[in-house]
Amino acid sequence: MRCRVCRGSAAIEVKRHNAAFCGQHFIDHVRRQVGRTIHDHAMFGPDERLAVGVSGGKDSLALWDILHHLGYRAEGIYLDLGIGAYSQDSLSRVEAFAEERDLILHSVSLLQHYGFSIPDAAKATRRTPCSACGLSKRYVLNEEATRRGFDVLVMGHNLDDEAATLFSNVLNWNMEYLGRQRPVLPASDGLAKKVKPLIRVAERETAAYAVLAGIDYEVEECPLVGGNTVNRLKEWMAMLEHDSPGVTQHFLGGFFGRASHAFAVDIPDLHPCSKCERPTTGERCAFCRLQERAVT
Ligand code: SF4
Ligand SMILES: [Zn+2]
Ligand SMILES: [Zn+2]
C-alpha cells in the first residue's frame, strides 16, 4: 500500500475514501477533513473563543490538537465524573496534554462542585450510569461554557458516535432528539452554541491520528460502559461498515443533508429552572432533579 500523496509506504488505509496515507499525510488529511467540516457548516470563525469538552480519550484530545494546529483559540473543559481511578487517570492525561502544548484547561469536579459522582447518581436513580452521565456532561459543559463567556462549545463526537446515535434515535423514532441532532446547534438564552467538527472522521481514524500525532490518551474504557446501548449499536454499524465501506458516512451525511430538516422541532417554551436558573421546560431542570436524588 502506497500513500496517495507522496507514494511512500502507507501507515493507514481509509477504505471509504479509497485511499491510503503515510503518517504525516494522514495527519494532514484528518486536519483537512475537520477544517472542511468547520467551513461547510459555518461552525465558527478564527476570532471566536472555543471551549472544547475534553474527556481524556482519543476523540476529544485529537480534536483539541487539530483545532490548535488549525490556529483556533481553543481552551479545554474537563468534567471529573468521580469514576474512581478511571477519572483520575483521565484528568492526568488531559493536564499533561494541555501543559505540553501550553493550552488552558478548566477542570470541574462533579463531586466537589455539585455534591455527587456518577456512581452515586446511578445508585440513586437505579438506572444505567450513562444516562446520568450524559445529562451531567451536557449540563456542566454548558454551564462552564456560558459562565466563562465562550462563543462556542465544541464536542468530540466522531462519525461513528453520531451515526450510532442517529440509528438509536431512528429505532426509537425519537422525534425530539432527531430534531436536535445537528452538526451545529445555535445559541439560545442560557444555552451555548454547540458544534461537532469530527462528524467526518471515523473512530479508528481519531485513534490513528492520536497515535501518529503523539497524543497520550486514556486507553482504558470507562468501567461503567456495560449499560451503554449506543455502544452496542456502534458495534453493529462497524460490521456494516466492514462489508460496505462508506455506509456510515452515507447514512449520517444523508440525514444531515437531506432528511434532518423534516424533524425540525419547535423549541419548547423554556423558562428558568427554579433552582439553578438554567432554561428548562418544567419547574426544575432535569439536572437539579438528578442532583437532589443523588446527593446523600
Ligand atoms: S461509559 Fe457511560 S458512565 Fe462511562 S463515561 Fe461514558 S457515558 Fe459516562
Ligand atoms: Zn505520504
Ligand atoms: Zn436546574
Q: How far is the CA of 208 from the centre of ligand 2 (A)?
A: 15
Report the DSSP pairing between strands 152-154 and 49-54: parallel
* Percent of the residues in the chain that have a pLDDT greater than 70, as a whole number: 99
Confidence of residue 265 (pLDDT cuts 50, 70, 90): low
Q: Please report the sign of the dihedral spanned by the C-alpha atoms of residue 215, residue 221, residue 222, residue 225.
A: positive
Q: Roughly what angle, to the nearest 10 degrees, separates helices 247-254 and 159-171? A: 60
Q: Is 225 in the pocket of ligand 1 (CB under 6 A)?
A: yes
Closest protein CA for atom 5 of ligand 1:
222
Instruction: Give 281 Cα–ligand 2 centroid separation in angstroms.
Output: 52
CA distances, 138 to each of 134, 141, 158, 194, 296 (Å): 6, 6, 17, 10, 22
Neighbour-count burial for 196-233, b at 16+ CB within 10 Å, e otherwise? bbbbbbbbebbbbbbbbbebebbeeebebeeebeeeeb
Does ligand 1 come within 6 angstroms of the Cβ of 133? yes
Give pTM, 2 decimals.
0.95
Ligand 1 and 76: CB distance under 6 A = no
Instruction: Write out the residues surrounding ion ligand 2, Cβ under 5 A.
Output: 3, 5-6, 8, 22, 25
Return the bridge partners of 79, or none: 108
Task: Determine the pLDDT at residue 268.
Answer: 73
Q: What is the pLDDT of residues 203-239, one digit of tens each?
A: 999 999 999 999 999 999 999 988 788 889 999 999 9
Q: What's the Cα-to-Cα distance from 260 to each of 153, 254, 256, rounded to whole Å? A: 21, 9, 5
Segment 169-196 shows an average pLDDT of 94
Lowest mean pLDDT among 99-113, 133-147, 253-267: 253-267
Asked if 293 contacts 125 with a C-beta cutoff of 8 angstroms, the reply is yes
Q: How far is the CA of 6 from the centre of ligand 2 (A)?
A: 4
Q: Which ligand is nearest to the CA of 28?
A: 2
| 38 Cα distance to chain centroid | 15
Q: What residue's CA is closest to ligand 1, atom 1?
A: 225
- How close is the Cα of 285 to the center of ligand 3, in Å? 4
- Grid cell in block for residue 110: 462533579
Residue 129 near ligand 1, beta carbon < 6 Å: yes
